[in-house]
Amino acid sequence: MPVEFKLPDLGEGIHEGEIIEVLVAVGDAVEDGQPILVVETDKATTEVPSPVSGKVAEILVKPGDEVKVGQVLMTFSVEAETEKPKPAEKAAAKEDETAAKMKDEPPQAAAAVPEERARPREEAPRAEERIGPVPAAPSTRRLARELGVDIRQVTPSGPGGRVTPEDVRAFAEKGAKPVAEAAAPPEREEGIPLAPAVISRVEIEDHARWGPVERIPLKSVRRATARHMALAWSQIPHVAHQDVADITDLEAFRRRHKAGIEEQGGALSLTVFALKAAVAALKAHPRFNASLDTAAEEIVLKRYYHIAVAVDSERGLIVPVIRDVDRKSITELSSELRSLAERTREGKTQVEELQGGTFTITNIGALGGTGFNPIINFPQVAILGMAQARWQAVVQEHREPYEIVPRLMLPLILGFDHRVVDGADAARFLNGVKESLEDPEKLLLV
């Protein structure tokens, strides 16, 4: 009996992927669990295992195809067996298993957006997602061009989705308007807004009217970043708390041990110390190592410390995760961070390495800057930003008379979710980070 294999629900923020490679051919016998496709899901590539044992009957995709959740990718012919669960059921079960494997976030992320999962997998195409020609009379299509209207954006009123001249005129008169409501607005539950499924689509005027323009498709990492940032910004009431840490002693310490660490294959960067300092603060302030589950109206405190580190790669921003930072030494973290950053830049990270972070560090200091406003890595609660450390004339206030001395000062920014923690909590948290960074010996104790 034939079994359809659909692209499984990939979880938070991911609704489609790009087929990188097809590993089987029509007629191949495949085993349950055998890799059959390589899919790039937003920021990482992953092998998709076969849901069943059977024969590949049809392959409906090719490398380069963009595929959506619920789209049929392949069909298998499977021998019906009465003892075992029906292949279709098994395939469905396996689909969920695969989905879990491919998920970008820990399970609570999915719980925060239950509508995502409950929604039927195959929806009727929305007005702005239609593929192929738009049904409209030639004169209507011409009218749309005259009025500078992209006819694909027009919500049709005619039978069977036909766009009428009135639809085009009405659209042109309204001008730029958000059409997100056409895209199945997220339902509200007790006044708490839930995650939108997509970046809301807002039309912009046709800029080609004023001069030449170039249009670049929003794809892959850029698209994932856009979606994730829009989600975070729309969901989290952000506050940024700032301070400056005196890292003169830490820098001296770092320089002393740099060569030794390098011999062991690591790179002793400021970020390594920040990882350590952050873990200490997270342990002292567990609400910063958490997620808000709006559906359950609960704060999920995490008993593990997986810290995500923002990496600038050619493909764009990628945020891999270092697991169990609390259980690793400075030396170990130096090696791991170095190799993880390298693999990230080479595009070799696996989906799992991008998942499960509980807190994020973003260090822009190498490029400059006195401060910035980092966006929290949803659904985490906080993010630590580091700008450029600079030598500054500092008034040593504990000496009498006051002395002005050159000190290496590091601007720190803590972006936090005000739904979960307050400004005072943030000040205490950042004070902890600051103290750790100012006293390298203290760092060794955490």
Binding footprint of another protein on the chain (CB under 8 A): 60, 133, 135-138, 141-142, 145-146, 158-163
Which parts of 92-229 are beta strand (E)?
none
H or E element, residue 380: none
Strands 35-41 and 16-22, by their bridges, are antiparallel
Query: Which tokens sit at 381?
Result: 């609660």
Cα–Cα distance between 46 and 11 in angstroms, integer? 14
Q: Which is nearer to another protein, 119 or 130 (CB)?
A: 130
User: Could you confirm whether 418 is annotated as catalytic?
Assistant: yes
What residues are paired with 312 via a beta bridge? 317
Q: Which is nearer to another protein, 163 or 292 (CB)?
A: 163
User: In angstroms, what is the minimal distance from the CB of 147 to another protein?
Assistant: 9
Half-sphere exposure in the Cβ direction for 37 (13 Å, CA): 29
What residues are paired with 35 via a beta bridge? 49
Q: How many CB atoms lie within 10 A of CB 17?
A: 26
H or E element, residue 189: none
User: In angstroms, what is the minimal distance from the CB of 161 to another protein?
Assistant: 6
Q: Which is nearer to another protein, 58 or 326 (CB)?
A: 58
User: In angstroms, what is the minimal distance from the CB of 137 to another protein?
Assistant: 5
User: In angstroms, what is the minimal distance from the CB of 135 to another protein?
Assistant: 3
User: In angstroms, what is the minimal distance from the CB of 386 to another protein?
Assistant: 47
User: In angstroms, what is the minimal distance from the CB of 138 to another protein?
Assistant: 5
Instruction: Write the CA distances from 82 to 8, 29, 33, 79, 85, integer angstroms.
Output: 26, 20, 21, 10, 7
What does 51-86 look like in DSSP terms, one character per residue?
SSSEEEEEE---TT-EEETT-EEEEEE----SSSPP
User: In angstroms, what is the minimal distance from the CB of 134 to another protein?
Assistant: 8
Spell out the residues 6+ positions from residue 234 whose beta carbon is closer than 8 angstroms to its own: 193, 196
User: In angstroms, what is the minimal distance from the CB of 306 to another protein?
Assistant: 43
Single out the catalytic residue among 241, 257, 398, 418.
Answer: 418
| Secondary structure (3-state) at 207 | helix
Half-sphere exposure in the Cβ direction for 199 (13 Å, CA): 14
Cα–Cα distance between 330 and 307 in angstroms, integer? 14
Nearest partner of 61 among 30, 40, 87, 31, judged by Cα: 40
| Distance linking the first and last C-alpha atoms of the chain | 59
Q: Which is nearer to another protein, 148 or 193 (CB)?
A: 148
User: In angstroms, what is the minimal distance from the CB of 122 to another protein?
Assistant: 12
Cα–Cα distance between 337 and 200 in angstroms, integer? 35
312 phi and psi, to 5 degrees?
Answer: -90, 115
Buried b (16+ CB within 10 A) or exposed e, 396-435: eeeeeeeeeeebbbbbbbbbbbeebbeeebbebbbebbbe
Are 303 and 287 spatial neighbours (Cβ–Cβ below 8 Å)? no
- Which are the catalytic amino acids? 418
